[in-house]
A and B are shown apart, each in its own frame.
Chain A
Amino acid sequence: MNCFPDEVMEHIFDYVTSQRDRNAMSLVCKNWHRLERCNRKSVFIGNCYSISPERVIERFPELKSLALKGKPHFAYFNLFPPGWGGFVYPWIEALAKNKVDLEELRLKRMVVTDECLELLSRSFMNFKCLVLVACEGFTTVGLAAIAANCRFLNELDLQEKEVDDPKGQWLSCFPDSSSLVSLNFACLQGEINLGALESLVARSPNLKSLRLNHTVPLSALQRILRQAPQLVDLGIGSFIHVPNSETYTKLKNTIIKCKSITSLSGFFEVAPHCLSAIYPICMNLTALDLSYARIQSRALIKLLRHCGKLQRLWIMDCIGDTGLGVVASTCKDLQELRVFRSAFIDRNDPLGVSEKGLVEISMGCPKLHSLIYFCQRMTNAALITVARNCPNFMCFRLWIFDPVKPDPDTMQPLDEGFGAIVQSCRQLRQLSLSGQLTDRVFLYIGVYAEQLEMLSIACAGESDKAMLYVLNGCKKLRKLKIRNSPFGDTALLMDIEKYETMRSLWMSSCNVTIGACKALAEKMPRLNVEIFNENEKVDCSVDDGKKVKKLYVYRTLAGRRKDAPEHVWSL
């Protein structure tokens, strides 16, 4: 196998960038394991508690890029108690202590304090890229440290940061010669220094991606675009102005020159009449995120008619079924669609979207492979049609407002519809179910969904068999998230070794008892079993027969974690 010298092997390995392929390569033989680990520059850790930072650093001495995830996905919906964990400080500390030449850090759902950011900015001379998605705990003070100390920073990307932050001058802290390529602060709620922003854009010739927050007015946008017509990805802050004003006219003329923009997002405030300024660049757009934009469906439809090349569309359900029909006829290349529940009611389409819209999309957009769909109703017939039209789904996540709603035409559960989806879409990796569902749909999933890695269930199933079908049948399952479903101890304990092949299991408001969780923890030392009930302190004397409100099980090589708060019971 090793006829080539190490350098040649390493050179070949350099072409392999996918994490999964790399992991597979390291299992081939000891030699490959050694070569691979010395050659690997980028590591992804799906659960920050599954391994200790020291072990990662030891194994990958050439580590340059690290991606970590902290809380699991359900943390988004207030199901996790505050202070649960996901602290990144130990990682940064370990990386700094071992003098790792860190260049990129990507964190998701972790706690990042200003202290972390300051340590980060001072410890790694070549640090280039910081991406924080849905992280909490930092303010603009930490951002200022990053801006000031990371001389070679080219990417600073903040997404979905929840906490309101005080006004800060962090934008002024960037060095005079900025190498910024990507700057995203769209989620920050506070005011920013517009002058500093414009000056930064002016001295960042490499800037390709800029996403502004809602406090940046249209006038500033116009000035920024004039400085940076080379932008590829733009996130607009506020898009309101008096029509026919000088500023607005200037903006229209400036936008026309921005021929490189292929991705548009933001629109946190928008006046529909201003949207016509965007029309000239719509035909170049491949990605459009209007999921925060309060635009009535009529104006949305007008806009979308111009977007023939769209591949990715994120939108709110105020677009309505009619609007989705327009998308279906206009955006033939559509690959990813996300329809979110809008917080306001469109008088034209007060009920959001239904199965009709999805069927139209499936007919018009056969390349569709990723879907998030919040709808008011869904039918088996529609799902079957969609399955037949779009067999390429890799991600299919459907949520109905009423989580146990049956097919309204037939009053049947949605088993057959989802069954058709899993049978037709052989590459399906992520699936979220809702609607009235019996054990049958889980039978279908267990049999057909061979590639399934993530399954999210709410208020579904009738007995433990359902969970067992999934655990037995889905060999590639990595994340299983269950809530409000009647699965109990038998299901939990039937195949405990399975959990070591998965990243994590979440069960909330099911029928699992404390005793079963204790048994699980005892038998499987390489699993962490955590129970939590809101903010009550852990009461270890509680009866074993008591039902567990929230259970989080994940595999780990790091043992029980030491930073769990009081209301988390690690068994």
Chain B
Amino acid sequence: MSPAAVGTEEDGRSKVSSTVASGSSQSLDCFSQNGAGLKERNYLGLSECSSVDSCSSTVPSMCDEKKENMNLKATELRLGLPGSQSPERDPNLYTLSSATFDEKPLFPLLPTKDGICSSQKTGTAAVSGNKRGFADTIDGFSQGKFTGNTGMNPLLSPRPSGTQSSAMKEMPSKLQERPSPANNGTSHNHAGASVSGSAPASKAQVVGWPPIRSFRKNSMVTTSNKNNDEVDGKPGVGALFVKVSMDGAPYLRKVDLRSYTTYQELSSALEKMFSCFILGQCGSHGAPGREMLSESKLRDLLHGSEYVLTYEDKDGDWMLVGDVPWEMFTDTCKRLKIMKGSDAIGLAPRAMEKSKSRS
């Protein structure tokens, strides 16, 4: 890498080079050497302790644009058949990669400087500077010129210049010898220029996440309706998911009966779950104020004659929730249903009495 491109070096950020014998050392050797060399910083000493609290933020350790240039080389598009590589390119690339990358086999954590590579996708000035730097480099590459872009703070420590610079000096010449084919170059420009920043979908919109196989999900539900023994007297071992349906709701919910110990807990949880349907609001993550309002409203509705909580037992009969002891209820309940009071004529008055006696 021509020194001009390196720019100012970070002060003592990484003192790897002192322990690196030669650029083409084996990576394993580098590990041990680097281990010694990096002890000063000892971010890698993290292996001793299980949690990290010493580092504040991560930054790529290498000179970004330098690596990007070489990486561009490594990831250069070919016109030829996939897999074919021009012979003179490989050895150079290999020495380059072993020279530079093995020296820094791991990525020591370094505090950010100027917010480089901050995580915000919206792009702070530094981040966009980063991207601009890369795009500029692509432009330079396609034009067959090696641009020394100082948009980034290179973090590279002084390196043994012997093998390095000779290898690096070959780089620019290589670049000039074989500028990327014109059409690829231009499309590179397009790719580089158009940094489409469409943010990845939020968690809620990702279908099939987390990637649990449907077989696994289904089988857990199937066996969940059988009882497990308790362990250490703790109630609620294992999960007992039952469907909860509500008249007029577009979809059903599931609750784990074992995570509650009383009817009160269950009914307040159901209130929370179905409040959005009662009040015609979507999403259950409303502001606390709104939630409280809806809960109390819902409680009134549920404990009034509007809605009645019923369950289907093992025999297939629909029963009113609350008659039997909680343990017996969880043993026999197969699914729950929140019925409208009008559908539960005859049950409703008792529901009111029950709920009053409960609360």
List residues of A whose CB falls within 8 A of some B CB.
Answer: 74, 76-79, 134, 160-162, 187, 189, 214, 240, 268-273, 291-292, 294, 296, 298-299, 340-341, 343-345, 347, 356, 359-360, 362-363, 374, 379-382, 384-385, 387-389, 399, 401-404, 406-407, 409-413, 415-417, 419-420, 423-424, 426, 436, 438, 440, 443, 446-448, 458-465, 468-469, 472-473, 475, 483-486, 488, 490-491, 494-495, 497-498, 500-501, 508-509, 511
Contact = CB atoms under 8 A, between A and B. Distances in A.
A156 to B, nearest CB: 18
Interface string B171-207: 0000000000000100100111011111111110111
Contact of A134 (B109, B215, B218, B222): B215
Contacts of B220: 292, 343-344
Q: Which 8 residue pairs across A and B have the least CB separation, nearest first?
A: A344-B239, A77-B208, A459-B200, A381-B52, A472-B75, A271-B229, A343-B220, A410-B57
B357 interface: no
A399 to B, nearest CB: 5
- Point out which of B67, B71, B259 has the most chain A C-beta atoms below 10 A from its C-beta: B71
Nearest to B217: A343
B196 A464 contact: yes
B329 interface: no
A119 B323 CA distance: 56
B83 A448 contact: no
Contact of A403 (B209, B213, B223): B209
B326 to A, nearest CB: 18
Contacts of B60: 415-416, 419, 440
A79 B207 contact: yes
B231 A272 contact: yes
B347 interface: no
Contact of B201 (A382, A415, A426, A484): A484
Nearest to B134: A465
A463 to B, nearest CB: 5
28 contacts: A74-B208, A77-B207, A78-B208, A134-B213, A271-B229, A272-B229, A296-B237, A340-B216, A341-B210, A347-B234, A360-B50, A381-B43, A381-B58, A403-B206, A404-B203, A412-B117, A415-B60, A416-B107, A420-B106, A438-B117, A446-B75, A461-B200, A463-B197, A472-B76, A488-B196, A490-B194, A495-B77, A497-B81
B215 A412 contact: no
A298 B232 CA distance: 10
B214 interface: yes
A468 B121 CA distance: 19
B152 to A, nearest CB: 12
A325 to B, nearest CB: 8
A462 B52 contact: no
B239 A484 contact: no
B44 A485 contact: no
Interface in B21-64: 27, 31, 43-44, 46-47, 50-53, 55-60
Nearest to B73: A447
A32 to B, nearest CB: 20
B200 A76 contact: no
B62 to A, nearest CB: 10
Contacts of A363: 47, 50
Contact of A446 (B55, B74, B195): B74
B224 interface: yes
Given A399-B210, A446-B74, A498 B46 contact: no
B118 interface: yes
B231 A381 contact: no
A271 B228 contact: yes
Contacts of B207: 77-79, 483, 508-509
Nearest to A534: B207
Contacts of A347: 234, 236
A388 B117 CA distance: 23
Given A187-B219, A292-B219, A412-B117, A344 B229 contact: no
Interface size class of B (residues with CB under 8 A): 35 or more
Nearest to A164: B222
A91 to B, nearest CB: 23
B149 interface: no
Contacts of B70: 447
B242 to A, nearest CB: 13
A18 B325 CA distance: 62
A475 B75 CA distance: 10
Interface in B252-269: 256, 258-259
B214 A447 contact: no
B239 A494 contact: no
Contacts of A298: 231-232
B243 to A, nearest CB: 15
Contacts of A465: 134, 191-192, 195
A340 to B, nearest CB: 7
B44 to A, nearest CB: 7
Contacts of B215: 76, 134, 160-162, 187
Given A77-B213, A79-B208, A459-B206, A345 B198 contact: no
A462 B121 contact: yes
B119 A413 contact: yes
Nearest to A456: B211
Contact of A410 (B55, B68, B199, B239): B55
Contact of A240 (B81, B211, B229): B229
Given A77-B214, A459-B201, A294 B238 contact: yes
A242 B202 CA distance: 48
B327 to A, nearest CB: 17
Contact of B200 (A379, A446, A460): A460
Contact of A501 (B75, B83, B203, B223): B83
B4 interface: no
A448 B223 CA distance: 44
Contact of A419 (B47, B107, B222, B231): B107
Contacts of B216: 160, 291-292, 340
Given A384-B44, A501-B82, A345 B191 contact: no
Nearest to B205: A484
Given A78-B214, A340-B212, A473-B75, A497 B82 contact: yes
A286 to B, nearest CB: 23
A95 to B, nearest CB: 28
B155 to A, nearest CB: 12
Given A407-B58, A458-B209, A483-B206, A388 B68 contact: no
Contacts of B67: 443, 447
B337 to A, nearest CB: 23
Contacts of B82: 475, 495, 497-498, 500-501
Given A162-B218, A298-B231, A343-B221, A416 B58 contact: yes
B238 A356 contact: no
A446 B67 CA distance: 12
Contacts of B197: 462-463, 486
A443 B184 CA distance: 18
B105 interface: yes
B191 A420 contact: no
B97 interface: yes
A326 to B, nearest CB: 13
B192 A270 contact: no
B356 interface: no
B229 A438 contact: no
A316 B259 CA distance: 19
A516 to B, nearest CB: 13
Nearest to A356: B50
B101 interface: yes
A189 B220 CA distance: 11
A463 B191 contact: yes
Given A298-B232, A345-B259, A380-B109, 13 more contacts: A272-B231, A292-B223, A359-B46, A401-B210, A410-B109, A412-B118, A423-B101, A423-B106, A447-B74, A472-B77, A483-B208, A484-B206, A490-B194
Contacts of B55: 381, 409-410
B176 to A, nearest CB: 21
B226 interface: yes
